[in-house]
Structures are given as structure tokens and as C-alpha cells.
Amino acid sequence: MLIALSHSLQPLDWLYVLSGVFVGGLVGMTGVGGGSLMTPILILIFGVHPVTAVGTDLLYASVTKASGSVVHSYNRTVDWSVVGRLALGSVPATAATIAALYLLHVDSRATQIIITRVLGFALLITAISLVLRNPMMRWYGAHVPEMAPARVRRLTILTGAVLGVLVSLSSVGAGAIGVTALVLLYPKMDARHIVGSDIAHAVPLTLVAGVGHSFLGSIDWHILGSLLVGSIPSIIIMSIVSARASDTAVRMALAVMLVLVCARFWFFN
């Protein structure tokens, strides 16, 4: 079976496999980089149509992060109550966004423009959240009193809803933006549980969005399979390692790259 798989993969497909290895490893280590890296890679490096790139990346993220979630769940680094609150907001918002795209019958050119612009915006917000996470946390801890549990619950559901819309349109935001929001809402939660809970929540979110995009005909199944060959073992290994020794350096480098990609989408499209 492995020999048949090897023969079925063309040389270009191995570049997709390597992309899956790179992005899957980064997600497993930090919880960040799934949509914010894979979608731009598919569009800018491989020339995939933006609509197809978003749809393919959503299903890729769902399967990849499901593998990482199994490891984090086994290590007991997932807070399922937080995951449930996020999903309570994100799943209905995702379904509503996909339904709106379908019912409005937006033509392919308009859809491409919408997704490209939203993607650029989402990448910029993601980059800002990566750069300013630590200063935000210091200011937040010094000036914002601890919130009541009921308010935290409502804001968590609202965060899920915002992520649902953003991820459905751009496939970006579940990682960096989700992690930053959880850090602010749950300042006493340790980093491993933040990452594990965010990865676990991304599974139903990207699955619903990805299935919705499949009905819109925006999935490249051949690319998806090649990406998963690399990403599944990579995210499992890095979720186990999960040392995150150079977390700050990874975040800063990723933020710079996202700003450059954002500029490419906004000004050179």
C-alpha cells in the first residue's frame, strides 16, 4: 500500500507533503500556524485559487488538529468545558456563514475578492496578536480585574462566534487569535492547556466549515491527501514534544512573515 502511495505521488506532490510536515509541526508545538500559514502557502507558492485554498485548508486543519487533539487529550492538556463554550458559538456561526455564501449565490470573482480581503485582514490581526501577546497580558493583568465566571462564559461563546465567521471566510484565526483570546479570558490557565484546548476546538470548527466548502465545490482532494501525509505524523510528534523552548522566536518570525503576506494580498493582488 505504501509503495502504491509512493508511486501515485508526483514530484510536485512531495512539496505539498513537506508543506504539511512544516505547518503540522508548528501547529503541534505552538497551536499557531494552521490557516495563517497553509492558506497563503497554497495561494502564493502553489498558485491555488483562493476559494479552493481556503476550503482545502479547512479540511486539512480539521484532520491534522484531530490528530493533535488525541495527543493533548491523552496528556490531559485539554479543558473540555472551554472547548464546549467556544464550539457553542463557533459551530452555529460557521454554519450560518457557509449558508450565506451559498444562498447569496456570490459569483466566483466576487467570492475571490471577499476571501482575499478577509484573509489579508485576518493575517494582520493574527500578526498583531502574536507580537503583542505578552505586552497585552501584562497590561491586562495590571488594569483589568478578574471577571465573573458568567461573563467569561458569555465572552468565550462570543469569541467562538467571531472565530467561526473569520475562519469560514479565510481559514485563518483559530490558532493565533484563538490562543490570544483564551489567554486573556483564562489568565490562570497554563500554556499547555491553552494550546491543547485551542487545537481541540479547531476540530469541530474547521470540520463544519470544511464540509460546507465541500458542498460549494471548493476542495482539491488530491492536494488535501498530500498535505495530510506530511502533517499527521508531524503534528503527533510535535504535540508529544511540545517543549516550545523557542516560542517567542517562533511567534516573532511568524508575525513578520504574516505581515509580508498580508501586504501581498492587499496591495499586489
Taking the CB of residue 22, how many other CB atoms lie within 10 A of it? 17
Whether residue 142 is predicted with pLDDT greater than 80 in this model: the reply is no
Q: Are 173 and 122 in contact (CB under 8 A)?
A: yes
Residues 6+ apart with CB under 8 A from 28: 68, 71, 234, 235, 236, 237, 238, 239, 241, 242
| Cα 48 from chain centre | 18
Residue holding cell 508548528? 26
**What is the average per-residue pLDDT within 180-205?**
85
Write out pLDDT tens, residues 123-141.
Answer: 777 778 767 777 877 787 7
**What is the average per-residue pLDDT within 87-97?**
95
pTM: 0.77
Residues 6+ apart with CB under 8 A from 242: 28, 29, 75, 192, 195
Nine-digit cell string for 163 = 472565530
Kindly list the domain boundaries of the chain, sorted by start residue.
12-267
Q: Are 25 and 234 in contact (CB under 8 A)?
A: yes
Q: Are 87 and 160 in contact (CB under 8 A)?
A: yes
Among residues 171, 139, 177, 145, the alpha carbon closest in space to that of 158 is found at 177
What per-residue confidence (pLDDT) applies to 59? Answer: 92
Residues 43, 29: Cα–Cα separation, whole Å: 24
